[in-house]
Amino acid sequence: MRHGNFEPEPDHRVNWRIIRHLTPYLAESRNRVLLALTFLLLAKGAILLIPFLLKHLVDALDGQSVQSLAPALLAGLVLAYGAARFSNVFFAELRDTVFGRVTERAMRRIGLQVFRHVHSLDLDFHLNRRTGALAREIERGTTGISFLMRFFVFNIAPTLLEIAMVVGIFLYNYSATYALITLASVAAYGFFSLRATEWRTQFVREMNAADSASNTRALDSLLNFETVKYFGNEDFEARRYDTELEKWELARRRNRLSLFGLNGGQALIIAIAQTSMIGLAAWQVKSAEITLGDFILINQFMLQLFLPLGFLGFVFREIKGSMANIEKMFELLALAPKVVDTPDAAELEMARGRIVFEDVNFSYTDNRTILNNVSFTVEPREKVAVVGSSGAGKSTLVKLLFRFYDPDKGRILIDGQNIHNVSQASLRRAIGIVPQDTVLFNDSIFENVRYGNPRAEDHEVEQAIELAHLSDFILALPEGRDTLVGERGLKLSGGEKQRVSIARTILKRPPILVFDEATSSLDSKTEQAILAALRDIARDHTSLVIAHRLSTIIDADRIVVLHQGEIVESGNHQDLLAKGGHYAQLWQAQQRQEPSRQ
């Protein structure tokens, strides 16, 4: 399955499956929905009253008996008219207020569900995703839900209801011709709007694409600010940006012209309908078939009816867009994580911390084996080092131990329990890792360290900072431990980030410790100091160390040499040197490079 690409494909069908998906959220707030519907009916009732009140007012004022018209009656009609106008707006507002809570609750529920789900997806998904697109996807999806709920419930359905009532009133009280004109014009209007909107979709899409393309270009350029400067490519960047802007400008123009076509056509249909209604009514007044009040009533109904219709094209397009966005979000929700807890997953029971890799085979993609029959054991409280050239598969071992992936063959056991059969949460609680590349949250240094154990007291965090040799660095900062580290920790150097990461793990203090080239960015003095601290901490722990510099693992109980995914040698430092194999070669190469280190 390809994941990672979530650009919405515009969908041309109204998708009832989505409506079904959303019903549980409506059902959850059933009372509020019913209340909102009641307010909707009240608002619609008020608006249907208005033409009748106007008719009676005009008829009362128009007749011969206007002199003898009872002031009380006149005042009553005027007040009723005012009350109806106010009620219409008031109940509509009440309806929105009451219903707002329903949509917001649904958005919150679904937003959280998606967030949790995305976190549950496997590493592969996250490596393939484009974060910006994914975030937009989720945002569009939840906004789409709010839009769909509001407009389907409160725009489309009531407008249809209103049309039906008006047609009924015309049919019942007046000539059937009015009803016919209304129906014909509404049908023509609806048909034209839908077709024109469909036709316009391509221009809207073109415009949105041009919009994101120019945004992406600008963003990418700004993210690469330093590179742009290093190469003096400001003008080149500006030209590339302008090329996108030009496309955007053109797309906007096409879009506007097509909008002109749509609006113009709609206005023409409305004008024809109104002219024929007014004409017919005028003639009927002239021949005394209806009163002047009826004339006003008919005109008023027409005005009121076409007002919501004016939005119909827009609403239809938006609803279709929302459907496509929600669909995408539900597709995301339907993605199954590749790594899941087995149904009867037990908690990992830590005894002494013995790790066994047993005949493990693994490949990320079908055609390339990364690990081949890897077997080794880390006895409790042992320190085992894995060494090998870059790309040998060392970090992959760690990812398997953390169960970011499942091995294709073989087993990984911790204290005799296959990690496949224990819950991921309990497994990950038991292991602490200082990863090869540390990415930090855009928060203060102090809080980034506390992330290792969110419940830790301040003094515990301080202690971890001390042990990770971060205190001198923090003291030198003007804002001390509250210094913000920037997006992804970009304001810290590689070595500083590694130390934050070490402090985090010290704070977590899990039974099993894993270091993946954890000190590779440190200078040798800091490295030695931290290694001493880590040796202290690791004394009672089982540790797996992936080493960059061999000098850091001379004291390991066992060294496993990985070469192209296979274990080619293992033993302690002295044994391996005496053997004169891979390890001895690596050692000599490093000695030549960095003689001063020893």
Q: Which is nearer to ligand ADP, 144 or 388 (CB)?
A: 388
Contact 37, 29 (CB under 8 A): no
> Which does residue 127 bind out of ligand ADP, Mg ion, none, counting CB within 5 to 8 angstroms by kind?
ligand ADP
Please identify, using beta-carbon distances, which residue of 436 and 501 lies nearer to Mg ion: 436
Q: Which residues contact 248 (CB under 8 A, 6 or more apart)?
A: 207, 210, 211, 213, 214
Q: How far is the CB of 435 from ligand ADP (least distance, A)?
A: 11
CB 304 within 8 A of CB 51: yes
Quick one: DSSP state of residue 369? -
> In the bound complex, which residue of the shown chain has the CB atom lying closest to Mg ion?
395
Nearest-approach distance from CB 374 to ligand ADP, in angstroms? 11
Q: What is the largest CA-CA distance in the chain?
A: 125
Binding site partner of 417, from Mg ion, ligand ADP, none, Cβ cut-off 5-8 A by kind: none
If the CB atoms of residues 312 and 386 are measured against Mg ion, the closer one turns out to be 386
**DSSP code, position 153:** I
CB of 372 to ligand ADP, least distance (A): 12
The span from the CA of 222 to the CA of 213, in Å, is 14
Cα–Cα distance measured from residue 155 to residue 314, given in angstroms and rounded to the nearest whole number: 11
Contact 323, 14 (CB under 8 A): yes
Hey, which residues between 406 and 465 contact Mg ion (CB under 5 A)?
A: 436
The C-alpha atoms of residue 273 and residue 282 are separated, in whole angstroms, by: 14
CA angle 227, 231, 236 (to 5 degrees): 95
396/417 with CB nearer ligand ADP: 396
Q: How far is the CB of 503 from Mg ion (least distance, A)?
A: 21
- Please tell me whether residue 590 binds Mg ion under the rule CB under 5 A: no
Minimum CB distance to Mg ion, residue 395 (Å): 3
Tokens of 314: 């827009």
Query: Which of Mg ion, ligand ADP, none does residue 258 bind to, with CB < 5 to 8 Å depending on kind?
Result: none
Of 482, 500, 506, the residue nearest 432 (C-alpha):
506
167 vs 546 by CB, closer to ligand ADP: 546
Task: Give the end-to-end CA distance of the chain in Å, rounded to a whole number.
Answer: 50
The residues that touch ligand ADP, with contacts defined as CB under 6 A, are 127, 364-365, 370, 388, 390-396
Residue 566: helix, strand or coil by DSSP?
strand
| C-beta closer to ligand ADP: residue 491 or 563 | 563
CA angle 348, 505, 115 (to 5 degrees): 70
Cβ of residue 491: shortest distance to Mg ion, in angstroms? Answer: 24
Give me the least distance between CB of 550 and ligand ADP, in Å please: 14
Q: Cα–Cα distance between 183 and 189 in angstroms, integer?
A: 10
Residue 276 as a binder of Mg ion (CB under 5 A): the answer is no
Question: Interface with Mg ion includes 395 (CB under 5 A)?
Answer: yes
Q: Which of 256, 409 has the CB closer to ligand ADP? A: 409
Residues in the site for Mg ion, rule: CB under 5 A?
394-395, 436
